Structure 1
Amino acid sequence: MVEPIELETPRLYLRRWQAADLEPMAALCADAEVMRYFPAPLSRAETEALLARIHAHFAEHGFGPWALQRKDSGALIGFTGLGRVNFAAPFTPAVEIGWRLARAHWRQGFASEAARAALQCAFERLELAQVVSFTTLSNLPSQGVMQALGMRRDAADDFDHPGLAAGDPLRRHVLYRLDRADWQAPR
């Protein structure tokens, strides 16, 4: 077992998950608007299974999708973090960065703020050579965050997600990359 890393930004704690996080995370994952770029909202049991996979990833690697907690209110607002891609694709093996936030916390810079801290950890502490991020073609808000982080897309890298059936409108994904050499730490 690897000791999990925790991070902090001016407004957020990126921390280990706690038992009390299940209910707010289940509510977030059940929100159809939050989950519109995923196949379906998650049930409470599916969210519990997701958190179990996150715990296992942290135990094995010391990092994963961190619980995002606001410093001012103490509220759990979602997650941001790093994970080893768990399917075969032309760009794997790879570590991806991703985020999911409750609607009340959208458009306030929290995803970018947390993602910058996660990228700093990826490149400076974990010494990864590259981090990727991907989403469905229609998820322009997440693509905007990827671009704001300095990640770059090459349309030749776009791919069909193997976890989604042929004909699924969410199947086609864009891939963004950021190399450690191109990383600029937050100031």
Structure 2
Amino acid sequence: MIESERLLLRRWKPEDRTPFAALNGSAKVTEFLPKQLTRAESDDLLDRVEAHFKTRGFGLFAVERKDTGAFIGWTGLSVPRFEAPFMPAVEIGWRLAEEHWGHGFATEAARRSLAFGFGDLGLAEIVSFTVPANLRSRAVMERLGMTRDPEDDFDHPNLAPDHPLRRHVLYRLKREDFS
């Protein structure tokens, strides 16, 4: 478990599956993802998250508010499962329920995940990526000190050439630049 001022980043509990599925089924939350997930697809994703922890020793943490004990989403580190010019890499990501947007929770949780990655795991660099229109996530990346070189932008290989979300922007952060 990792703590920040207002949050707990922890391993997953069975009771997280229902709010996790609601998160993944939200049209607003998944606006910049290829699709909303069904409950079965969400459960499969959580099974893959748990498997990543077992095989890699790190992964995506459930995020819980300390003041209410509420599950609000996830953040953490993962190894992307596709080929791209910047691979191999470790990615930081986050997904929070809409009612928890705008309070700095994504930045707070991601900052603790970066500290874990650079400190405990000894990673030299961590990346993050999204579609150009996802200004909220891009703002989090920039608040974290991540930087973008337009030369690194890429077409996501898991999306069809004509898919409107295929183009992605890539942000990077090196351990020596993290504060």
Helix, strand or coil for the counterpart of 1:150?
A: coil
Pair 1:143 & 2:117 matched: no
| 1:27 alignment counterpart | 22
- Output aligned runs, 1:66-145, within 5 Å: 66-145=61-140
Aligned to 1:51: 46
For 1:60, the equivalent position in structure 2 comes to 55
For the residue of structure 1 that corresponds to 2:58, the secondary structure is: coil
Shift of the alpha carbon at 1:167? 1.1
The runs of at least 4 aligned residues of structure 1 exceeding 3 Å deviation read none
What runs of 5+ residues in structure 1 fail to find an aligned partner? 1-5
The separation in 2 between residues aligned to 1:68 and 1:29, in whole angstroms, is: 15
Aligned to 2:73, the other structure's residue is in SS state: strand
Q: Is 2:147 aligned against 1:152? A: yes
Q: How big is the shift at 1:142?
A: 0.3
**Paired amino acid for 1:59:** K
3-state DSSP class of the match of 2:141?
helix
SS of 1:141's partner is: helix
Calculate the aligned-residue CA RMSD, in Å: 0.6
Could you say what secondary structure the match of 1:37 adopts? coil
- The alignment status of 1:40 with 2:35, answered yes or no, reads yes
Give per-residue Cα distances to partners, 1:35-79, cap 9 Å, x unaligned.
000011110000000000000000112211100001111110000
SS in structure 1 of the partner of residue 67 of structure 2: coil
Determine helix, strand or coil for the equivalent of 1:34: coil
Where does residue 3 of structure 1 map in the other structure?
none
Instruction: Please give the secondary structure, in 1, of the residue aligned with 2:162.
Output: coil
Structure 2 portions without partners, runs of 5+: none
Which amino acid in structure 2 is aligned with residue 101 of structure 1?
A: L
Query: In structure 2, the residue corresponding to 1:122 is in which secondary structure?
Result: helix
Q: Structure 1 counterpart of 2:142, which letter?
A: Q
Q: Distance in 2 between matches of 1:99 and 1:30?
A: 15
Structure 1 residue 118, shift from structure 2 partner: 0.3
Give the aligned partner of residue 179 of structure 1: 174
Secondary structure in structure 2 of the residue aligned to 1:53: helix
Query: For 1:48 and 1:79, how far apart are their aligned partners in 2?
Result: 14
| Alpha-carbon distance, 1:108 to partner | 0.3
State the alpha-carbon separation in 1 of the partners of residues 34 and 118 from structure 2: 31
Question: With structure 2 as the length reference, what TM-score do the two structures score?
Answer: 0.99
**One-letter code aligned to 1:50:** L
